[in-house]
Amino acid sequence: MAKQPFYAGGLRFSCKRCSSCCRHESGYVFLSGGDLEALTALQAMDRGEFIKTWCRWVAFDGEKEYLSLKEKANYDCIFWKDGCTVYSGRPLQCRTFPFWDSVVASPAAWENAALGCPGMGQGELHSMVRIEECRQARLSQPVITRGPGGNKL
C-alpha cells in the first residue's frame, strides 16, 4: 500500500484577504493559457497588448522563458490595489494557493509557508481530494513558455 501524504486527513485554510501573498515580496505569478484568456477578457485587451502591458518574460531554467505578471516597484502584484482588482479572473496559481506541490511537499514546508499566511491552519478543512484537485489543475494547465521546447500562445 502506498504511503499517504501528510495531508491525507485534510488541511485547514481560509483566506483572510490579508494580501500578504500578493504584496511586499518579489515573486512570480506564472500564467497558463486559461489564465491569459480570462485576464485578457477582464481587461478587454488582445493577448499581445495584455502581455506587453501587464506581463514579463522570466528566464527560469536556462533555456525557456516563462510568462509572469509584472510587479510594482514595491513588489506588489501589478493587479493589487486595496485588494485584487482581477479577483474573478485571478490566475490558477493564485486560486490554488496554498495547495502547491512545494507547499504540501512535507509538514515542514507547510509550516514554513504558514509563517507568512494567517489563513493556513485556520478555518475550512480541505480534503485530500480537494488538495489533489488543486495540484492536478496546475499540472494540467502548463505555464506559457517560449524558447526551446516552449508552448504556443
Q: State pLDDT tens for residues 11-20.
A: 999 999 888 8
Do 7 and 120 touch, CB atoms closer than 8 A? no
CA distance 106 to 83: 30
pLDDT attached to residue 153: 61
Query: What does the pLDDT average to over 41-69?
Result: 93
Q: State pLDDT tens for residues 21-42.
A: 888 888 899 999 999 999 999 9
**Over the chain, what is the mean pLDDT?**
92
Question: Which residue pairs, CB below 8 angstroms and at least 24 apart, start in 127-133?
Answer: 127/10, 128/4, 128/5, 128/7, 128/8, 128/9, 128/10, 130/10, 130/99, 131/7, 131/10, 131/11, 131/99, 131/104
Query: What does the pLDDT average to over 82-88?
Result: 92
Cut 0.85: pTM above it: yes
Do 71 and 102 touch, CB atoms closer than 8 A? no
Phi, psi of 32 (to 5 degrees): -95, 175
Query: What does the pLDDT average to over 2-17?
Result: 93
Non-local (6+) Cβ contacts of 138 within 8 A are: 92, 93, 96, 100, 101
